[in-house]
Amino acid sequence: MSRETISQSISVVHPISLSHGKNAEVWDTTGKRYIDFVGGIGVLNLGHCHPRVVEAIREQATKLTHYAFNAAPHAPYIELMGRLTAFIPVDYPVSGMLTNSGAEAAENALKIVRGATGRTAVIAFDGAFHGRTLATLNLNGKVAPYKQKIGVLPGPVFHLPFPSRDNGVTCSEALKAMDRLFSVEIDVDDVACFIIEPVQGEGGFLALDVEFAQALRRFCDEKKILLIADEIQSGFGRTGQRFAFSRLGIEPDLILLGKSIAGGVPLGAVVGRKTLLDNLPKGGLGGTYSGNPIACAAALATLDEMTDEHLQGWGAQQEESIVSRYESWRSKKLCPYLGRLTGVGAMRGIELANADGSPAPQQLTQLLALAREAGLLLMPSGKSRHIIRLLAPLTIEAAVLEEGLDILEECLAKLA
C-alpha cells in the first residue's frame, strides 16, 4: 500500500501497517502478532477495543453522532462533565471544558490563565512535551525535531531544569535556577503560570521531585501565579492512581487531560478551579467537535472502568513485574547498556546508557528493531531518544505481560 500521499514530515517508529488489536495485542496486515507496549503512546490504558468502550460507541452512534455543544448542548457532554469533575481528586469546586486533544487542552489553558491573571509569561521545564501546535511547541523543553524550521513562537515562555531522582537534578538546583530566572530574565509579577508534568512522558518518564512540587505550590500561592498540571499522559491510572499529582501532595489550579480519557477516541479536557474556568466571556471557550457525543460516550465507559480498586490492582501488577524483571537483569548483568529504571507505578522507562553514563540512542534504535522482529512493539523517549517507554495497557493479561518482558529480556541480551 503506497504512502506517497502521506506527508514525509510525519515520523514513524515502526514501519508496519496494523490491521486490528485486542487488549494488549495487535496484528499487522500480514497477520503477524505483536505484544503492544506502546498503547497508542499512552492512549490505550484500557487496551485495544475494550468491550465496554466499543459497546458505548456503537450504542451512541445509533442515537446522535455529532452536535456542536456551542450550538445546542447534548446529554453525553453534560453527563461526562459531571462524572469527570467528580473524578478529579481535589477539594475545591471544579468545572471544565472538553477539547479534541491534549494539545488543544493546553492551548485553552493558556487562554484561561491569561484571562484570569492579566499576565502572559509562562514557565515550563526542560524535557517537557505539551503538544505540537504553535503555542505548545514553545512550552516543549526540546528543540529537535519539534521547533526546527518553525521560527518565532508565541510567548513569552521560559524554561527551568526539571528536578527528578530519575535525571539527577535536585530540588535545590531547580530552585536556584528559578531564583536566577526571576533575578535576570523576567519580573515574577509578569508570570501567569507554571506548567509541569508530574511525570514527564516524552522526557523519559521522569518523576517530579516531591519537595520541589510542594515548594513550587507555595511559591505560586505567594506570588499569585497559577499552576497547571499536564496529566495528559500520566493521568487515568497510568501510575496506579487516578492522577500522578496526588503523589506530590499538591493540588494544581488547572489540569490538562487527554490520551486515555476516552479509550482511543479523540478527546481532551481542561478542568480545574471553577472561578478560573468561568472567567472568560461567553463564547471565549468552545469548539465545533469538542465533546463530540461518541467521544463522550466512550469516555463515560472508560470512567466506569476507572475505579480506584481497578487502578491500584492494575498498577501494582505492572509495577511489580517490571521492577522485579529490571532488578533481575541488573543483578545478572544482562546488558552492558542497561541504565536506570525511571518513573513510578506502571509508568516506567528503561534507560540505555554507555559505561560512562552517556545516552546510548543507537542501541535503543537497535533494540526497537530486534523487539519488533520478535513480536514486541516499544516506544522511545528521552532527550537523546535513549529511554524505552513502557506503556502496555493497564488491563494487559499477566501472561501476556510476562511474554512481552521475556522478549524484551532476550533482545536486551543481544545488544552490541
Q: What is the pLDDT of residues 308-363, one digit of tens each?
A: 999 999 999 999 999 999 999 999 999 999 999 999 999 999 999 999 999 999 99
pTM equals 0.96
> Which residues fall within 8 angstroms of residue 329, CB to CB, at 6 or more apart?
335, 338, 409, 412
Average pLDDT on 72-81 reads 97
- Whether residue 295 sits in one domain with residue 401: no
Residue-wise pLDDT for 255-289, tens only, equals 999 999 999 999 999 999 999 999 999 999 999 99
61 and 161 in a single domain? The answer is yes
Are 213 and 343 in a shared domain? no
Rounded-to-integer distance, Cα 109 and Cα 341, Å: 32
User: By the 8 A CB rule, do 109 and 254 touch?
Assistant: yes
Q: Do 322 and 254 share a structural domain?
A: no
104: which 3 cell numbers?
Answer: 488543544
- Residue 369: CATH number of its domain: 3.90.1150.10
169 and 63 in a single domain? The answer is: yes
380-410 pLDDT, tens digit per residue, is: 999 999 999 999 999 999 999 999 999 999 9
CATH number at residue 253: 3.40.640.10
Q: What is the mean pLDDT of the chain?
A: 96
In this structure, are 234 and 109 located in the same domain? yes
Band (pLDDT 50/70/90 cuts) for residue 109 is very high
- Decide if 317 is inside a domain: yes
Which is nearest to 79 in space by CA: 323, 339, 365, 296? 296
Q: Are 207 and 344 part of one and the same domain?
A: no
Amino acid at residue number 90? V
Residue 335 located in a structural domain: yes
Residue 39 lies in a domain: no
Considering the domain architecture, whether residues 174 and 233 belong to the same structural domain is answered as: yes
In a domain, 32, yes or no: no
| φ, ψ (nearest 5 deg) of residue 210 | -65, -45
pLDDT bucket at 1, cuts 50 / 70 / 90: low
Please state the domain count of the chain: 2
Instruction: Find the DSSP H helices in 191-307.
Output: 210-223, 274-277, 293-305
> 35 lies in a domain?
no
Q: Can you read off the three cell numbers belonging to residue 159? A: 524554561
User: Is 358 among the domain residues?
Assistant: yes
Report the pLDDT value the prediction gives residue 155, as an integer from 0 to 100: 86
Domain boundary among 274, 305, 336: 305
Cβ(323)–Cβ(154) below 8 Å: no
**Is the model's pLDDT at 151 over the cut of 90?**
no
Average pLDDT of the residues in 60-64: 98
For the chain, the residue count is 416
Do the Cβ atoms of 248 and 238 come closer than 8 Å? Answer: no
Q: What does the pLDDT average to over 355-373?
A: 97
Q: Domain of residue 407: give its range.
A: 308-414
Domain boundary among 305, 333, 362: 305
Give the pLDDT confidence of 243-259 residue by residue, as tens digits.
Answer: 999 999 999 999 999 99
